[in-house]
Amino acid sequence: MCGIVGYIGHREAYPIILKGLKRLEYRGYDSAGIMLYSQSDIQICKTKGKVSDLEKKVVSTSGNIGLGHTRWATHGSPNDINSHPHISNSGNLVIIHNGIIENYDAIKKTLTNRGYHFHSETDTEVLVNLIEDIQINQKLKLGKAVQVALNQVVGAYAIAVFDKQKPNEIVVARLGSPLAIGIGEGEFFIASDASPFIEYTNNALYLEDEEMAVIRLGKEVKVRKIEDDSLVTPYIQELQLSLDQIEKGGYPHFMLKEIYEQPAVITDTYRGRLLPGEGIIKMSGMEDHLQKFINAKRILIIGCGTSWHAGLVAEYLFEDFARIPVEVEYASEFRYRNPIIQNDDVVIAISQSGETADTLAAIKLAKKKGAFVYGVCNVVGSSIARESDSGSYTHAGPEIGVASTKAFTTQITVLTLMALRIAKANGNISESNYHLHLQELERIPAKVEQALAQNEHIAKVAEIFKNATNFLYLGRGYNFPVALEGALKLKEISYIHAEGYPAAEMKHGPIALIDDQMPVVVIATKHGHYEKVVSNIQEIKSRKAKIIGVVTKGDQHVRTLADHVIEVPETLEAFTPLLTTIPLQLLSYYIAVLRGCNVDQPRNLAKSVTVE
Ligand code: G6P
């Protein structure tokens, strides 16, 4: 995720773009840049860091046309050179881009053979030069050249392209990343959402996927389909949202927005990596080190909080698919207990922020003892990503809500891809089972969408239990870590005491707590110890607890036992955590809202814990 802003009109562009970038920093903030056009020339300033760092660096601020970008790195670490805008080899074209061009490597090779030079490691610089190459060789106007280029690329984008030889227009296009055009009096605004232009105009045109527009001063905006050039009748809407609502995408809290982003970000996580048609999983960080995974006698997983829970899910995944023994440890414990690390051990460090002090220290210790460390991080270029020997990013985009949601499901997605990749390489999965899982993984985002559709029902369940003082969460197998994560979510944001437990283990203690006031959330999906969990439900029911069952769609049995059921779609056992997590996130969210808690910034917690 990145934020893009553009302006063309009669005002000074700089203050509009700078303010707009600050409003879009929730979309990424590892580097920022700006292009201003004035007196037939372009000035570009870019820097690693936040928009405030850019502000300190900018020298020239004049111009009525400008493009700005705040970055969430995907290709290439966050540094000045990889920051946007990017400029073409001739110096004429300037681009800002939010998204990922998957086939950039092949295009880069072709362009390099044709004499193009690249200064950055980004996919975006490849795209701007592809556009230039097409523009020059096919003698096309900018809009047309952009269109031809986009028909050659695979991936996701929201782009704005400016040509200094045609300084009265900006070309924009969208596929998979948002792009809004603000229409004022003799001026146009471009942005990832409407927040950068809300005080200038209420008229906004949102491009749909596979659409592009040429924004030309003095002309109406023309929207076309990228694929076949057909004209689209633009729908200009009158915005009635406040600034705050826009930044949160219309959601009341970042947490809810991030919960709802999960279908899209899980897709982003496996985009370009999961190719079910070809029966391939491609994890670029793993390919060079595959032998290490194949030879591993043991995999050690370390993390904290929600990331540790993702590690627990991974224990089942790696052991089931790849048949490699796994140990999962809190990083804070691992680092202080003189752990035994052997030559063939692989350590996987999981961290959303990539900055958690305990996880970082644990990695350093593991490396010192000779382990190979693989990082699974969300924040590109973060300390843990840099400290690891190799790794995979989760591509969840910035997570602002302190309670982790989309980071968890995207971590599980990466770990699933890794487990299947190793299993394929070490021959511990049958061809048919491998293909079955690849195909089902591709269906997960749509199934997450269906799980989210239970939101109104879940809000009603939350209303019933909002005043509870204790909660129990139970699950078995793959859903035991989900029970832990569900309890953690509730604790974090609603301040209700909650415990997650393996369902059968309940008999050895927590059952003593159960009375008719105690809500017990039981994950009882089909496939995976269903009958056993049903027996556990019977035990709870006979102690008169209030049972909230998370069940597979169509389940009738648990319905007769539970006080409330929440359905999730059917899937393969290994993928159930990706679905059962969703209602538990929503349940804790609604309970916290009903209790009047600060959902996005719960007391005493921090998003990134950089102290031990
Ligand atoms: C904090 C956050 C949690 C997170 C944990 C680990 O406690 O509030 O949401 O799971 O740190 O953070 P990491 O960035 O390493 O995943």
| CA-to-CA dists, residue 435 to 279, 281, 317, 518, 571, angstroms | 6, 10, 16, 43, 14
pLDDT of residue 538: 87
- Work out which ligand 1 atom sits closest to the CA atom of 305: 10
- pLDDT above 70 for 304: yes
- Work out which ligand 1 atom sits closest to the CA atom of 356: 15
Condensed to tens digits (0 to 9), the pLDDT of residues 181-212 reads 999 999 999 999 888 999 999 999 989 889 99
At residue 400 the predicted structure's pLDDT band, cuts being 50, 70 and 90, is confident
Condensed to tens digits (0 to 9), the pLDDT of residues 114-159 reads 999 999 999 999 999 999 999 999 999 999 999 999 999 998 899 9
Q: How many CB atoms lie within 10 A of CB 64?
A: 18
Condensed to tens digits (0 to 9), the pLDDT of residues 86-121 reads 999 999 999 999 988 989 999 999 999 999 999 999
pLDDT of residue 380: 75
Pocket residue to mutate for ligand 1, from 330, 404, 612, most atoms within 8 A of Cβ = 404
Q: Which helix (H) or strand (E) holds 290?
A: helix 290-295
pLDDT of residue 610: 62
DSSP type of residue 546:
E
pLDDT of residue 611: 64
Condensed to tens digits (0 to 9), the pLDDT of residues 12-61 reads 999 999 999 998 887 777 899 999 999 999 999 999 988 999 999 999 89
Question: Which of 558, 590, 577 lies closest to 457, judged by CA?
Answer: 590
pLDDT of residue 210: 94
How far does the centroid of ligand 1 lie from the alpha carbon of residue 304, in Å?
6
- pLDDT above 80 for 8: yes
Q: Which helix (H) or strand (E) holds 254?
A: helix 254-260
User: Is the CB of residue 378 below 6 angstroms from any atom belonging to ligand 1?
Assistant: no
- pLDDT above 80 for 335: yes
Q: Whose CA is nearest to atom 15 of ligand 1?
A: 351
How far does the centroid of ligand 1 lie from the alpha carbon of residue 517, in Å?
31
How far does the centroid of ligand 1 lie from the alpha carbon of residue 105, in Å?
34
pLDDT of residue 386: 84
pLDDT of residue 612: 59
pLDDT of residue 72: 80
pLDDT of residue 176: 81
* Residues tagged active-site: 2, 607
pLDDT of residue 249: 83
410 neighbors 392 (Cβ within 8 angstroms): no
Pocket residue to mutate for ligand 1, from 259, 302, 307, 378, most atoms within 8 A of Cβ = 307
| CA-to-CA dists, residue 330 to 310, 313, 334, 348, angstroms | 12, 14, 6, 12
| CA-to-CA dists, residue 375 to 42, 294, 314, 386, 389, angstroms | 40, 17, 14, 9, 8
The pTM of this model reads 0.80
Measure CA of the first residue to CA of the last residue in the chain; give whole Å: 29
How far does the centroid of ligand 1 lie from the alpha carbon of residue 609, in Å?
7
- pLDDT above 70 for 393: yes
Beta-sheet strand order (sheet of 203-206): 41-48, 31-38, 65-71, 3-8, 188-191, 180-183, 203-206, 236-238
Pocket residue to mutate for ligand 1, from 259, 306, 400, 603, most atoms within 8 A of Cβ = 306
The proportion of the chain whose per-residue pLDDT surpasses 90, expressed as a percent, equals: 78
- pLDDT above 90 for 311: yes
Condensed to tens digits (0 to 9), the pLDDT of residues 255-303 reads 999 999 999 999 999 999 999 999 999 999 999 999 999 999 999 999 9
For 209-245, the three-class secondary structure string (H helix, E strand, C coil) is: CCEEEEEECCCCCEEEECCCCCEECCCEEECCCCHHH
- pLDDT above 80 for 244: no
The residue to which tokens 């195909």 are assigned:
439
- pLDDT above 70 for 608: no
Which carries the bigger pLDDT value, residue 344 or residue 225?
Answer: 225
At residue 471 the predicted structure's pLDDT band, cuts being 50, 70 and 90, is very high
Q: Whose CA is nearest to atom 7 of ligand 1?
A: 305
Pocket residue to mutate for ligand 1, from 308, 309, 332, 352, most atoms within 8 A of Cβ = 352
How far does the centroid of ligand 1 lie from the alpha carbon of residue 246, in Å?
26
pLDDT of residue 429: 97
Q: Whose CA is nearest to atom 4 of ligand 1?
A: 305
Least confident range of 37-46, 520-529, 599-608: 599-608
Q: Whose CA is nearest to atom 8 of ligand 1?
A: 607
How far does the centroid of ligand 1 lie from the alpha carbon of residue 403, in Å?
8
Q: What mean pLDDT value characterizes the chain?
A: 93
- Work out which ligand 1 atom sits closest to the CA atom of 309: 10
Cis status of the peptide bond prior to 85, with omega within 30 of 0 = yes
How far apart, in whole angstroms, are the C-alpha atoms of residue 181 and residue 501? 50
Q: Whose CA is nearest to atom 3 of ligand 1?
A: 305
